[in-house]
Structure 1
């Protein structure tokens, strides 16, 4: 077994945290128990490029229980929990290629190391692994062995759909991110809570009374805006899509162009999935002491080179917080190098939320194993039956019962004859 981690000495602490997370992941735990008995993933080799966290560790354990040979590398240089990586290597004998704080060169070296296991399935969070596999530098023979893959996040799905549209995607991908039990809950409640958790841990900022600008009102932006309002913030939303902007207004938020919004902001959070949402003109318009954070997948949402160009000095204000001093003496604070703040400065989503996301991942791999010969080279939605199964299992874990349709109701919903 090959691996590259910070140290194996942290394994005991990592195992303790993995076990704690598992207590809040009953759906994935029930799938792992079934997988252990049925072994639906026998013969599959899975290369996963995910945030190496306690929740991911429980997913990797589930894949191994199902019969898969699996390795995992980091999908973000700052998201790896080194003790978790150690436990996966020492206690689970799963290859891990991830070190918290690794540089860009090491990041891609680790992706290549994961691909060296010649996967038949890829599991991605941001599509960096898939992109690497499709690059000119990659060994074409590796690509030929892959039968399908899954994608965990919005940014990755956007990239993969672009590849499919251009006809360059060489194998089918299931967009786990787009499962209703994923983006309704993970993106809204998970990102909403964990983003503010990361900001508070990094800054000790009192959210109540702070003017918070939320860039983007997709599921992640909705979650952050609502959680910030719940903590007493004055929330302003910025958008480029009229329908989403209108929804934010109807939800009770102020909506402004970014150039106007940042003039009032004590805290700006980007969650758009796009590039340079915060630019030079915005930095110039910000107040002294404004804090900047990103909870989109890539740090390109913030034009950091432009911020550095405007600055006459750069230093460390706190762990995870850099201070940029502009030419006029104004200071701006950037959290976690502009990377995913919930993972760069905290622990990511609560395990209870990731329970559903990773249950979808595990069941989608089972679906691929059963249907790989019938899939085309495009991006697929998660089968509705998997979404419904995950929702039902989560309700059962909560001890919640719901009604079922009567035969009469079923007939009525499937007929057209009966009117007023």
Structure 2
């Protein structure tokens, strides 16, 4: 099988790290055992565009256990772990197209190479693979039964495609499950983003003013954890309901135009572009740190930052570039404006991705069985899948919960009983 990886000799080290991650992914491990017995994906070809990490590797192993042939391209050049890519290709028999730090041209070439598998199912992080299928590889569309999207950014793009009547096959919004929102977005992004910032800068967050753009699940997790580390937290929002929620959780809320003057650290998690623009950058204090945890590198206006700078000092620390403005102020951009939690750290802990990838695996099996009855639209993950993942996680943690009695079940499904 073909692959394009940086160094096959890294496979042994990669396999050790994949197995280490697997220790804290008990839900996915149980699903892998079930898939090996039931083979719900037998004979199917899966093309995936995802972050090439140890956790993703265990999802790929699960799909393979279910009978699938898998081709994987990286969804971000800075998040690729070359040893993981090598292990997947050499030790586990996947087709892998991923090299850390590859340029834009190589990034898209790898997606095209993964699509050469002629996919029955697709997995996407950010909708780039699905986008290419619809714009450049329309010859493959008739063979695609469906797919899964794991990011907020990707789901936004898919909904727009569906509204315009452009989407040609059913896509499951794995991003929107409760287990994904609660753990991946809130706990995973919350912890791993701050981990990336600390690794890249070795800054003390206690006492700092941290400005968080966006108060969705990711922003909430970030705000909670930043406050827990002793930071003063400012939230910027466009949604009045989310802004009201932030206020009642005790966070300061203001427009970015005001927050820009006060922040020590800025973190964007909105899924939109130019959330921090040139007017904001122009008034920031000396030494302000700029980080993004949205999927694409458009949330911070990097061209505007470059235009303001008279000097740029690359890699003043790993994954930290210093932009010197005309008046001597310095702004520090982390991870080139890409996902700081994956580029400057290791992304979410495996225990978090356990549930997200369990959702993905079970959604793939569901699509394989039900695709013929599904319209080309964006579909929610069936509630029973989300519930099963949560139940398996609780079981792995040796936690029991109550169950309804027959009388309670009858009461909830009856309208005849009064007060």
TM-score (norm 1): 0.99
Q: Provide the C-alpha distance between the structure 2 equivalents of 1:369 and 1:298, rounded to a whole number of angstroms.
A: 30
Q: How many angstroms apart in 2 are the aligned matches of 1:418 and 1:122?
A: 48
Structure 1, gaps ≥5 residues long: none
Q: Does 1:120 align with 2:120?
A: yes
CA distance in 1 between counterparts of 2:142 and 2:417 reads: 54
Measure how far apart 1:9 and its partner are: 1.1
Q: Which runs of 4+ in 1 moved over 2 A?
A: 417-420
Distance 2:122 2:417 in 1: 49
Q: Shift of the alpha carbon at 1:417?
A: 2.2
Structure 1 residue 418 displacement after superposition: 2.2
Q: Which of 205, 217, 226 lines up with 1:219 in the alignment?
A: 217
Using the TM superposition, give the Cα deviation of residue 327 of structure 1 relative to its aligned residue in structure 2, in angstroms: 1.2
Aligned position for 1:18: 18
**1:228-267 correspondence runs (5 A):** 228-267=226-265
TM-score, normalising length from structure 2? Answer: 0.99
Cross-structure match for 1:301: 299
- The corresponding residue for 1:290 is 288
2:144 paired with 1:146: yes
**Cα RMSD over matched residues?**
0.7
User: Which secondary structure state, in structure 2, belongs to the residue aligned with residue 418 of structure 1?
Assistant: coil
* Structure 1 position 31 matched with structure 2 position 31: yes
Aligned positions of 1:64-79 closer than 5 A: 64-79=64-79
CA contact (8 A) 2:145 2:368 kept: no
Distance 1:242 1:175 in 2: 25
Give the structure 2 partner of residue 313 of structure 1.
Answer: 311
Q: CA deviation at 1:369?
A: 1.1
SS in 1 for 2:321: strand
- Cα distance in 2 for residues equivalent to 1:406 and 1:93: 48
Question: Which string of whole-angstrom CA distances, capped at 9 and with x for unpartnered residues, describes residues 122-158 of structure 1?
Answer: 10000000001111x32x2211111101001100000
Gaps of 5+ in 2: none
Aligned-partner Cα distance in 1 for 2:350–2:57 = 11
Equivalent of residue 266 in structure 2, options 255, 265, 268: 268
The question of whether the paired residues in 1 share the 8 Å contact of 2:170 and 2:375 is answered with: yes
Q: Deviations over 1:268-295 (max 9, x none)?
A: 0000000000000100110000000000
Q: How far 1:372 moved relative to its partner? A: 1.3
Q: Following the alignment from structure 1 to structure 2, what is the Cα–Cα distance between the partners of residues 355 and 406?
A: 31
What secondary structure does 2:298 align onto? helix
The alpha-carbon deviation at position 93 of structure 1 amounts to: 1.1
Distance of 2:121 and 2:406 partners within structure 1 = 41
Structure 1 position 77, deviation (Å): 1.2
Report matched runs for 1:80-95 at 5 Å.
80-95=80-95
User: Any idea what SS the aligned residue of 1:167 has?
Assistant: coil
- Equivalent residues of 2:177, 2:381 under 8 A apart: yes
Counterparts of 2:418 and 2:197 in 1: how far apart (Å)?
54
Partner of 1:386: 385
Do the aligned partners of 2:293 and 2:340 also contact (CA within 8 Å) in 1? Answer: yes
Structure 2 residue matching 1:275: 3-state secondary structure: coil
**Match of residue 7 from structure 2:** 7
C-alpha displacement at 1:267, in angstroms?
0.2
* Separation in structure 2 between the aligned mates of residue 391 and residue 83 of structure 1, nearest angstrom: 31
Instruction: Name the SS of the counterpart of 2:282 in structure 1.
Output: helix
Contact 2:39–2:66 under 8 Å retained in 1: yes
Q: Is the 8 A contact 2:213 2:235 kept in 1?
A: yes
2:349 matches 1:350: yes
1:333 maps to 332
Provide the residue aligned with 2:185 in structure 1: 187
Specify the SS of the correspondent of 1:9.
helix
Q: Give me the whole-angstrom Cα distance separating, in 1, the residues matched to 2:120 and 2:38.
A: 20
The 3-state SS of whatever aligns with 1:10 is helix
User: Is the Cα–Cα contact under 8 Å of residues 48 and 72 in structure 2 kept in the other structure?
Assistant: yes
- Tell me which residue corresponds to 1:377: 376
